[in-house]
Amino acid sequence: MTTFETVFGTAPDGVWRAPGRVNLIGEHTDYNDGLVLPIALPNQIVVSAAARADGVVAVASSGQDGVIEFSLDALEPGSVGDWAAYPAGAAWVLREAGYPIGGANLLVDSDLPSGAGLSSSAALLCATAVALLGLQEVEVDPAEVARLAQRAENSYVGAPVGLMDQMASMCCTAGHALYFDIRAMSTDQIPFDPEAEGLTLLVIDVKAPHRHVDGEYAARRKSCEQAAAVLGVPALRSIAPEDLDAALARLSDDVDRRRVRHVVTEIRRVEQAVELMRAGRLRDVGPLFTASHASLRDDFEITVPELDVAVDTALAAGALGARMTGGGFGGCIIALVETAAADRTFAAIEKAFAEHGFRTPTSLAATPSAGASRLA
């Protein structure tokens, strides 16, 4: 087993963690200044860290052989590749922002599947950032760490992601979903305890091979920005649901029209979901999940057959609602089900996947967990 001592020869000075997430609703709305509603997962990235005096960061992963080293002074976008680009990006952005971080030995451990759309990239950036700051005993507001992690992913790693995943990893609290208004940069913790109501939120990794994920994400983002420019608004958040038809009539491109319809209707669904959850009507949120999936499938066009079959099968097995979650083109679905029907629903999806010749899906516990923290 890889331990900090076996890799670096000393005990760590401290241990920090940052979780992955699933988004309940509000997909591809974050970069449109919209609304999102993620929960943090119990699955997380753990970074054990010890300070070193020579300005070098050495990173090892318990899942891989070898140690990758880089000098803080030599960091610039693209200078470190592969998985170490994430810890390097975290170090780079903290230095760029003027935080007094120093060299460090870092061991990364994870029980968060990567490539499953559960935001392992944001969790790795956030866990590294809190470890590097923690080693220097520098306190930084969690939302500011989230913004820095996003900047690292955008500018160092080169992925044009929004701010949802980093905020979920930093700012979620146990037992709650994070209602995050990107335009206002405001958050509200919404109590979310399906078990108390006899419900289960199934999270199912459909194990679909990711196809063209990066380019497709960037293309969706570009479509939204182009449409906002044509409509003369800073972001699609500015289009109120009652003005949607008029806005669509002003767009000549059918693809852009459908992208806009998804974003505007999805932002409204987030508001409706939060209203229902606040009123203690969690069961009634189910149809909003299902409507979100249809919109992501038909208008935003980011589902794949595995996601559609999983959602359709969950609904046929009696789920109250189901949808893909995350960036799309693979990853996970969520399904809100009566707890008594949870095993049956998952079994039905396994059977349908076998019949379609898809890979075997897996399920995860979706206990709403806390954002990043120091463990030891």
**Residue of 165, 205, 256, 299 marked catalytic:** 165
Of the candidates 292, 352, 284, the one whose C-alpha atom is nearest the C-alpha of residue 317 is: 352
How far does the chain reach from its first CA to its final CA, in angstroms?
20
Q: Which stretch binds ligand GAF (CB under 6 A): 26-34, 59-67, 204-212, 351-359?
A: 26-34
Indicate which single residue of 327, 330, 361, 368 sits in contact with ligand GAF (rule: CB under 6 A). Answer: 327
What is the C-alpha to C-alpha distance for residues 136 and 124, in angstroms, rounded to an integer? 19
* Nearest distance, CB of residue 204 and ligand GAF, angstroms: 17
Residue 162 sits in the site that holds ligand GAF (CB under 6 A): yes
Q: Which stretch binds ligand GAF (CB under 6 A): 27-35, 80-88, 191-199, 252-260?
A: 27-35
Of the candidates 371, 270, 305, 286, the one whose C-alpha atom is nearest the C-alpha of residue 27 is: 270
In this structure, are residues 337 and 318 in contact, taking their beta carbons and an 8 Å threshold? Answer: yes
DSSP label at 80?
S
* Nearest distance, CB of residue 331 and ligand GAF, angstroms: 9
- Which amino acid is located at 104 in the chain? A
Q: Which stretch binds ligand GAF (CB under 6 A): 3-11, 162-170, 175-183, 231-239?
A: 162-170
What is the C-alpha to C-alpha distance for residues 149 and 139, in angstroms, rounded to an integer? 15
* Nearest distance, CB of residue 351 and ligand GAF, angstroms: 29
Question: How deeply is 309 buried, as exposed, middle or buried, from its count of CB atoms within 10 A (0-12, 13-18, 19+)?
Answer: buried
What is the C-alpha to C-alpha distance for residues 165 and 22, in angstroms, rounded to an integer? 9
Pinpoint the alpha helices (H) of 152-282: 164-171, 213-231, 244-249, 254-278
Residue 17 sits in the site that holds ligand GAF (CB under 6 A): no
C-beta closer to ligand GAF: residue 321 or 327 = 327
* Nearest distance, CB of residue 159 and ligand GAF, angstroms: 7
Residue 28 sits in the site that holds ligand GAF (CB under 6 A): yes
C-beta closer to ligand GAF: residue 12 or 326 = 326
Report which secondary-structure segment, H or E, holds 180: strand 176-181
* Bridge partners (DSSP) listed for residue 178: 189
Q: Which stretch binds ligand GAF (CB under 6 A): 4-12, 92-100, 127-135, 158-166?
A: 158-166
Residue 286 sits in the site that holds ligand GAF (CB under 6 A): no
What is the C-alpha to C-alpha distance for residues 376 and 374, in angstroms, rounded to an integer? 6
Residue 27 sits in the site that holds ligand GAF (CB under 6 A): yes
Whether residue 253 lies in the annotated active site: no
In this structure, are residues 194 and 319 in contact, taking their beta carbons and an 8 Å threshold? Answer: no
3-class SS at 48?
A: strand
Residue 266 sits in the site that holds ligand GAF (CB under 6 A): no
* Nearest distance, CB of residue 356 and ligand GAF, angstroms: 25
In the region spanning residues 74 to 133, those forming contacts with ligand GAF, defined by CB under 6 A, are: 119
How big is the site for ligand GAF, counted in residues (CB under 6 A)?
A: 12
What angle in degrees, to the nearest 10, is found between the helix axes of 164-171 and 120-135?
A: 50
Indicate which single residue of 33, 109, 165, 256 sits in contact with ligand GAF (rule: CB under 6 A). Answer: 165
Residue 30 sits in the site that holds ligand GAF (CB under 6 A): yes
How long is the chain? Answer: 376
Residue 348 sits in the site that holds ligand GAF (CB under 6 A): no
Pinpoint the alpha helices (H) of 120-186: 120-135, 142-151, 164-171
Question: How deeply is 374 buried, as exposed, middle or buried, from its count of CB atoms within 10 A (0-12, 13-18, 19+)?
Answer: exposed
* Nearest distance, CB of residue 73 and ligand GAF, angstroms: 30
C-beta closer to ligand GAF: residue 127 or 317 = 127
Residue 161 sits in the site that holds ligand GAF (CB under 6 A): yes
* Nearest distance, CB of residue 23 and ligand GAF, angstroms: 6
Residue 326 sits in the site that holds ligand GAF (CB under 6 A): yes
* Nearest distance, CB of residue 49 and ligand GAF, angstroms: 25
Catalytic residues: 165
Contact footprint for ligand GAF (CB under 6 A): 23, 27-28, 30-31, 119, 161-162, 164-165, 326-327
